[in-house]
């Protein structure tokens, strides 16, 4: 019997971010999984009245199934801390820094992880950027600093397309990041309670793992375990644990890497609230470790706590 059996569990999903539709699916999947474990679950689509809805539901613990702004950036975590409601996942600071790609890159570099060359520009300067404004050659990847699920991300091969990509990134939250494109295997590592569970390889139909590849069935191939050497597997798992620990994360995270042909594991980002849909990577890795989805969800719920 889990710690929260007999208690009122609120699964928070939906929200107001660009990743709302994915979060709705995550929330439904997690709520159904928790109910199969005998838990009393209420689904709450998070809006501006979320505090009132939590009180009305008599919520004693919150399972956070949100993605993106207002849910993955420390906002809802701060509210739950103020309400005294234990919650799953990382705390306020880890969530905020993990969501900000500029801050997280600085942190990753400080602990010795490999971060590809990049430059950061204010959104208002984005449309005027030229190739001479950064010290690396095309192709480049352009992305907003504070979004997830590859929202606003563009792979730019032709310098004449740079301006449009930067304008697209500037539509979203945060500064505009231009980084050197690194070619290699796209691999992701799930870390549960500080311990890496495994490495999965992603082979998207497109040239990189964009929003469509992540959430459109049949567009991506997955290989678990990843088709890489044992030394590379160990290196990636250790790097993911270090990234998880350096951010101060809790619960489950997914760290995204590019494994280059020369063996360098370039870290892209840590997802402090990774997707938990049928096509999501963390459930695939957990299943490969003999952890069914309902058990994974209850393990995450069992780790719910106040972090401040």
Domains and CATH numbers, the chain: 8-88 (3.40.50.20), 97-114+183-272 (3.30.470.20), 118-180 (3.30.1490.20)
The separation between CA 209 and the C-alpha centre of its own chain, rounded to angstroms, equals 13
Q: Is 269 a catalytic residue?
A: yes
Tens of pLDDT, residues 148-189: 767 889 999 999 999 999 999 999 989 999 999 999 999 999
* Helices within the chain (DSSP H only): 20-36, 50-56, 75-83, 92-99, 101-110, 162-170, 211-215, 230-247, 281-288, 293-302
DSSP, residue by residue, 34-94:
HHHTT-EEEEEE--TTHHHHHHHTT-SEEEE---STTTSSSHHHHHHHHHT--BSS--HHH
Q: Is 87 a catalytic residue?
A: no
Among candidate residues 75, 254, 279, 280, the one labeled active-site is: 254
Instruction: Determine the pLDDT at residue 213.
Output: 52
Pick the closest to residue 59 from 4, 118, 20, 129 (CA basis): 4
Among candidate residues 179, 186, 269, 298, the one labeled active-site is: 269
Q: Is 124 a catalytic residue?
A: no
- Separation between Cα atoms, residue 128 and residue 126, nearest integer Å: 6
Is the pLDDT at 252 greater than 80? The verdict is yes
Do the beta carbons of residue 145 and residue 100 sit within 8 Å?
Answer: yes
Q: Is 32 a catalytic residue?
A: no
Tens of pLDDT, residues 32-61: 999 999 999 999 999 999 999 999 999 999
Neighbour-count burial of 56, counting CB atoms closer than 10 A to its CB (0-12 exposed, 13-18 middle, 19+ buried):
exposed
Q: Mean pLDDT, the chain, as a whole number?
A: 93
The separation between CA 115 and the C-alpha centre of its own chain, rounded to angstroms, equals 17
Q: Is 250 a catalytic residue?
A: no
Among candidate residues 89, 152, 198, 275, the one labeled active-site is: 275
Among candidate residues 15, 18, 19, 186, the one labeled active-site is: 19
Q: Is 19 a catalytic residue?
A: yes
Instruction: Determine the pLDDT at residue 48.
Output: 96
Q: For 13-22, 45-54, 177-186, 209-218, which range has the lowest pLDDT when averaged over its residues?
A: 209-218
């Amino acid at each position: 019997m889990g710690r929260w059996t007999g208690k009122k569990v609120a699964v928070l999903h939906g929200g107001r971010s660009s990743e709302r539709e994915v979060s709705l699916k995550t929330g439904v999947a997690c709520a159904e999984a928790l109910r199969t474990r005998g838990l009393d679950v209420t689904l709450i689509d998070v809006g501006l009245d979320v505090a009132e809805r939590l009180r009305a539901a008599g919520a004693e613990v919150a399972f956070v199934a949100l993605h993106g702004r207002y849910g993955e950036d420390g906002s809802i975590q701060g509210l739950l801390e103020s309400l005294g409601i234990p919650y799953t996942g990382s705390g306020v600071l880890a969530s905020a820094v993990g969501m900000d790609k500029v801050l997280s890159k600085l942190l990753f570099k400080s602990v010795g992880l490999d971060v590809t060359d990049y430059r950061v520009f204010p959104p208002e300067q984005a449309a005027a950027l030229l190739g001479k404004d950064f010290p690396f050659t095309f192709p480049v990847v352009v992305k907003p600093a504070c979004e997830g699920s590859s929202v606003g991300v563009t792979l730019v091969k032709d310098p004449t397309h740079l301006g449009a990509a930067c304008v697209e990134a500037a539509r979203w939250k945060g500064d505009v990041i231009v980084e050197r494109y690194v070619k290699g295997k796209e691999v992701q590592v799930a870390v549960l309670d500080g311990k890496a569970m495994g490495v999965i390889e992603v082979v998207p139909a497109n040239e990189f793992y964009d929003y469509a590849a992540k959430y459109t069935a049949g567009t991506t191939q997955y290989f678990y375990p990843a088709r890489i050497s044992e030394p590379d597997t160990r290196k990636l798992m250790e790097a993911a644990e270090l990234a998880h620990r350096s951010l101060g994360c809790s619960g489950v995270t997914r760290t995204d890497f590019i494994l280059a042909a020369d063996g360098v594991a370039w870290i892209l980002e840590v997802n402090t609230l990774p997707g938990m849909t049928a096509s999501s990577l963390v459930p695939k890795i957990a299943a490969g470790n003999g952890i069914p989805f309902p058990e994974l969800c209850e393990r995450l719920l069992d780790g719910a706590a106040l972090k401040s």
